[in-house]
Amino acid sequence: MSTVNMKKLKNLTQYNFTATFIKADVIVRERKSSSLKNIYPTVLLKNVCLADTGELIAKYYWLGYGKSLAKLGRLTSGTQLKFEARPDINVLGNKNNGDIASLIAWPKNFRRLDKAYQYQAIPEDSHQLTGCILSGKQQEYNESEQWYLDQYELWREENADELDTLVEEVPAIDDYQDIKVEDVLDDKLEKYAVIRSEELSDSENRKYVIIDRETKKVLDDNNSLGYLKVKDAYESYEHRLNNAKERYRKRRALSWLLNHADFDKKLLEIYIEITDKGQWEGYISFDKKLVEDLLLQGNHTHLEFTSKDLLEVWYKG
């Protein structure tokens, strides 16, 4: 890992970096107008290098924790990153980064280089993100810090559904066959999972798709648009599954009814008697409970439909 020629770097308009995430922290600045303090989120990066050549820019570098980086979700120490930046002579050096501060200005388009990882959302708003970082510190909080913590708690309440679920991540749809997806969701979701698609995501929005956990095949990508929320992806896919299963059950119920004319006729006789006389052998309602009991009496068990399905197709004729 060689050291880059700084004069050469200053002549570039934009370039790509790789770096290793070490930790997230906050910086504090005094307010001139009050005793309160402004607190900002920041991250410490290690081995910041030019992506093309591997030349070392900085052994350690403090970077503002902006929206583009926060979109990647919660990062752990050692996470490999790639991003774009450009020099800006108007960016002043500081005590953490010294003279090289102007060389890594306006970072954007952050990407994780991990092949697979679990995505966990964090706030993208600076105030909420500051509160998120502060919440991990074991300390007593002052008035300024508590305000940021309150903003973070509001964000948690608004995003409770997504925070309850860890989602297995993979970088691109074409690479699904190489990824092992661990079971991290409820048992009812064990056959499929929501993952983030780098192919459908852009700098503004994360996009999610549904894949089969075993084959990694894409089951639902919302017509190549992806889903903006984990919750929406699951709800949409489960709705489609439920509709498909319901249609299948009703087809089986209709087929069974057409092949059991005696049962069909008996339902008609019971329906007429309840309608005319108000009851049939103690039953006062022609409903799914009655149909269920009739099926059991006729030893019709282990069917691929429910009594409700059978009743509905019988009514429709």
CA distance 173 to 201: 11
More confident residue, 86 or 19: 19
pTM of the complete model beyond 0.75: no
Residue bearing the bigger pLDDT, 73 or 177: 73
The larger pLDDT score, comparing residue 183 to residue 203, is at 203
Per residue in 120-131, pLDDT (tens digit) is 888 988 899 998
What pLDDT is stored for residue 181 in this prediction?
34
Domain boundaries, the chain: 6-160, 165-228, 253-316
